[in-house]
Structure 1
Amino acid sequence: MTMRLDRIAAAGTGEGYRRIRFADGGMITVEAQPDTTVFTEVALWPGLTAPSTEAWATEDSHELFLTGQDGEGRSLFLDVPVDAVREFIQEHGGEHADQDDDLPQTRHHVDPRSATGIYRIQLDDQRVGRIIRRDDHWLATPSGENRRSVDYDDFDEAAAYLVQEADIEAGRLTRAAQDLNTALAPYGLTAERAWDVLIGGHVLSWLVLDSGDPTQAADDQEPHLNIWFSDPADGDEVTVDRPARASDRWLVELNSANGQSVEGRAFPGLDVTAVAAYVAQWHSDPRAAWDEAMAAFEARWPVTS
């Protein structure tokens, strides 16, 4: 009955306000910080009367005027507990089906914050994981056996990760690492997953493929590839642990036996077949692929005297 309220209480309202329409036609405007148990401001629109309880005791019509929300019949209350607002909405029949489109559409819904600060995420009748606020980021932990907690700056992104993991667990989606190895299988190749964790718990993952060159001395580093993709809008992302999207960009990094590395070719996120073909081409002749990549690099960054 209060899906929009619970989502706003978790994510906050940013610099502005958000409206919540009631099933019986009433409406309120709220202001909140992320992970809140108390709304900073709750403005009641005409036709609504606040309950006569301690939770609604702090009324401030002057602040309503200053924030540009003043209007005939409207009233403003400060520091109202989220639970009190939830009860108020339920008394008016719950939330209306028609709300502002200022929040992205989702398949999931957010349970109210628990006493320990946990938000449980539901997909249909399935609980797909939990989110908790850690300092200035959100830690998302999926349900199931292969749980990998990941940090996000945005609450909705954290929830989307949990839904994605549930889809992967159910076989509705596959990770990009699996998709690439499926594309590599006809070439007789398999890339291995490697990973690291940045400060704050952000997981980096990529695939590694060695050349299998028997001529390399035992104390030399074998030529190898590092392969990953990212969303160009997220400069910190390095991953193969989610499904690739059309907006993503695959990158293949070539590494030589003496520790040098150079950027190889880049590919659109959904063109995993082209990535596999390039990897197979490198595997058949690592030296030629290295020379091609170095020539492209030097063309982009010519040495000037």
Structure 2
Amino acid sequence: MSTTRLNRIAAAGTARRFVRIRLADSLQMFVLARVDNPFLEEVYLSPGITAPDTEDWEDQDTIELAGETGGHLYLDVPTGAVRALIEEHGGEHTDQDEDFPSVDYQLHPIAPSGHYPVTRGTQPIGRIARRTRDWHAIGTGGTQWAGPFNGPEQAAACLVAMVDLDTGRARSGEKELAAALAEHGLAPHRDGAAMYGTSWLTVGPGAGGDFPPMDEKPYVYAYLRNCADEGEMAVDRAVRAGDEWVTVVGCDSPDEDGPDEFDGRTFPGTDTAAVAAYIADWHRDPRAFRAQALKEARARRSAALGEACSRFI
């Protein structure tokens, strides 16, 4: 039975104002809630709705509102008790106020773990949770929490974006990066070496990032690796805790000063958008990008050499 609106209110709060919940039988209640709290601060039941004779309601401060309004106001009511009352009236009405934007996911009541399950239709796609003031999201089968986000709505929306909606599970690094590159009008080419179990995504200089045959330069390719395994190259698995994105730049002028291929920047595994933006910068002007990237690569090598030398001084 649907209590979708109450579920979202319980997670997001009501910003210190009352919001209305219409019930399936057209009666209504108004609630005031704090963010991610197991109790609703105030619950006003309009005439026609009677609170159950249970401890959850009996132990609250009850104020009978005088005048034409009538009804009763209850303080600090467990969200679960309010949900049960809504279900007694047939659930929530399909016609609700538009103070919460329409979304294509369903947020479910908080679980004992402190996470809010999220589904799309009947398919579970992951969970969101609040940590201190920020919110985070993790897809079904994922091991890396994404975030931080400003609120549960933003976290759930990101979850929908990061999950493969055909399977309901966390998308592979390939799908994550391809989607991020698509925001810049780029379409990567997938490649790999089956005998070594490696895979990576390459973007070429053509329109839309089309990659020419025969591995012609310039190009940029990117792959995931776990920080504890620098030999890993993969895009066919989901992002995990401890992952980083590695970029490699192939130069179009190998006869000039400097190598014809060198490491670009590395990024946290969850920051796929930054990887895509970096590659998009290269695509706009590969030659100018090459000069800056070479400068950065040399600075990293100098810093590493200086650190190694200092150990022997």
Q: Equivalents in 2 of 1:157, 1:41: separation in Å?
A: 25
Q: Equivalents in 2 of 1:153, 1:119: separation in Å?
A: 16
Q: Which AA in structure 1 matches 2:13?
A: G
1:47 and 2:43 aligned? no
Q: Which AA in structure 1 matches 2:51?
A: A
What are the residue-to-residue correspondences of 1:1-305 with 2, within 5 Å? 1-57=2-58, 58-61=60-63, 72-144=69-141, 147-151=143-147, 152-167=149-164, 174-177=178-181, 179-182=186-189, 183-186=208-211, 188=216, 189-192=219-222, 209=249, 211=251, 213=254, 215-216=256-257, 239-240=272-273, 276=283, 278-280=284-286, 282=288, 286=290
Q: Equivalents in 2 of 1:54, 1:80: separation in Å?
A: 10
Contact 1:227 1:252 in 2 (8 A): no
Q: Equivalents in 1 of 2:45, 2:160: separation in Å?
A: 34
Contact 1:28 1:42 in 2 (8 A): yes
The Cα offsets for residues 25-52 of structure 1, whole Å up to 9 and x where unpaired, read as 1111111112221111101122222222
C-alpha displacement of 1:6: 1.1
Question: 1:271 maps to what in 2?
Answer: none
The Cα offsets for residues 243-266 of structure 1, whole Å up to 9 and x where unpaired, read as x9xxxxx5779xxxxxxxxxxx7x
The Cα offsets for residues 163-218 of structure 1, whole Å up to 9 and x where unpaired, read as 112247758984224745353233542332589xxxxx9x9979663536464468
Q: Equivalents in 1 of 2:73, 2:13: separation in Å?
A: 18
Contact 1:184 1:190 in 2 (8 A): no
Contact 1:206 1:238 in 2 (8 A): no
Question: 2:300 maps to what in 1?
Answer: none
Q: Which AA in structure 1 matches 2:61?
A: E
Indicate the SS of the match to 1:61.
Answer: strand
Indicate the SS of the match to 2:211.
Answer: helix
C-alpha displacement of 1:142: 0.7
Where structure 2 has 5 or more consecutive residues not aligned to the other structure, the ranges are 190-207, 226-240, 295-313
RMSD: 4.1
Where structure 1 has 5 or more consecutive residues not aligned to the other structure, the ranges are 196-200, 229-236, 245-249, 254-264, 266-274, 291-305
Indicate the SS of the match to 2:26.
Answer: coil
Contact 2:63 2:73 in 1 (8 A): yes
What TM-score results when the alignment is normalised by the length of structure 1? 0.64
What TM-score results when the alignment is normalised by the length of structure 2? 0.62
Indicate the SS of the match to 1:161.
Answer: helix
Contact 2:245 2:266 in 1 (8 A): no
Contact 2:264 2:293 in 1 (8 A): no
Distance 1:288 1:93, change over 3 A: closer
